[in-house]
Amino acid sequence: MSYAKSVTRVVLTSFAAGAGAMALVGLVAPVAMKGGLSMRDAAATPIVRQADLIEPLDLPAIEAQLERADRTMDAMRAMTDDEVAQLERLAR
């Protein structure tokens, strides 16, 4: 690698590091100055339990729905057995 390329790389890396540090100071310093990172305030806040995001499954209702679906499919299959048998005979 040539000297010019390595100097360019060092300058660009230094610029990126400086820009990152300024952004970090610009974002974190105001929060820290206002006491946003204070553990005292966090410890004094009561913990409130929120409702679960995912409701528990109602397994008996799900099983009943699956049983109804099975019965419906069996009934539909029984209604179309003759037609399916005829199609199979015609396909041979």
What's the confidence (pLDDT) of residue 39? 55
Q: What percent of the chain has pLDDT over 70?
A: 83
CB 58 within 8 A of CB 64: no
Average pLDDT, the chain: 82
pLDDT in tens, 26-46: 777 776 666 655 555 555 667
Which string of DSSP letters, residue by residue, matches 37-53? T-HHHHHHSPP-PPPPS
Question: What is the C-alpha separation between 2 and 13, in angstroms, rounded?
Answer: 17
Residue whose entry in the numeric block shows the structure tokens 């009943």: 64
Question: What is the C-alpha separation between 71 and 21, in angstroms, rounded?
Answer: 67
CB 35 within 8 A of CB 41: yes
The model's pTM: 0.37
What's the confidence (pLDDT) of residue 57? 85
